[in-house]
């Protein structure tokens, strides 16, 4: 890899040296975990694997669907007469998860 390639990947490379998991962007546009370690090719995009986030949400449950809200107040304000329950739940997700059209 040339000097520009090293500069381009330096932040991710340093994080990898410190133990972070690194993903590369495949030709399909999706991010893949680099299990054997990155190749550090200057034409490939790399990133530190995003950390999962956890949030508590309130779900209005209706006979035909569920709709989530950031607070009980908002869930109650948006409830209709057909609401059968309002449930506090925790979701864990990785930023970008489910946005690439895949099932990751």
- The pLDDT value recorded for residue 28 is 87
Q: Are residues 83 and 58 located together in one domain of the fold?
A: yes
The answer to whether residue 53 scores a pLDDT higher than 50 is: yes
- The pLDDT value recorded for residue 101 is 58
- Mean pLDDT over the full length of the chain: 89
> Mind spelling out the 3-state secondary structure of the chain?
CCHHHHHHHHHHHHHHHCCCCEEEECCCCCEEECCCCCCCCCCCCEEECCCCEEEEEEEEECCCCEEEECCHHHHHHCCCCCCCEEEEEEEEECCCCCCCCCCC
Does residue 23 form part of some domain?
Answer: yes
- The pLDDT value recorded for residue 100 is 66
Q: Decide if 34 contacts 24 (C-beta within 8 A).
A: yes
- Give the range of the structural domain holding residue 88, as residue numbers without chain letter: 53-93
- The pLDDT value recorded for residue 97 is 82
How many domains is the chain built from?
2
Model pTM? 0.62
- Where a domain ends, among 48, 64, 79? 48
- Where a domain ends, among 48, 68, 83? 48
Q: pLDDT per residue over 36-47, tens digit each?
A: 888 888 888 999
């Amino acid at each position: 890899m040339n000097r520009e390639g090293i500069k381009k990947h330096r932040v991710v490379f340093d994080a990898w040296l410190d133990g972070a998991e690194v993903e590369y962007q495949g030709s399909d546009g999706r991010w893949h975990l680099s299990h054997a370690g990155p190749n550090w090719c200057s034409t490939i995009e790399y990133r530190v694997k995003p950390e999962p986030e956890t949030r508590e949400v309130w779900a209005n449950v209706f006979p035909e669907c569920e709709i989530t809200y950031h607070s009980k107040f908002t869930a109650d304000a948006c409830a209709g007469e057909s609401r059968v329950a309002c449930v506090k739940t925790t979701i864990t997700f990785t930023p970008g998860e489910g946005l690439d059209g895949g099932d990751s």
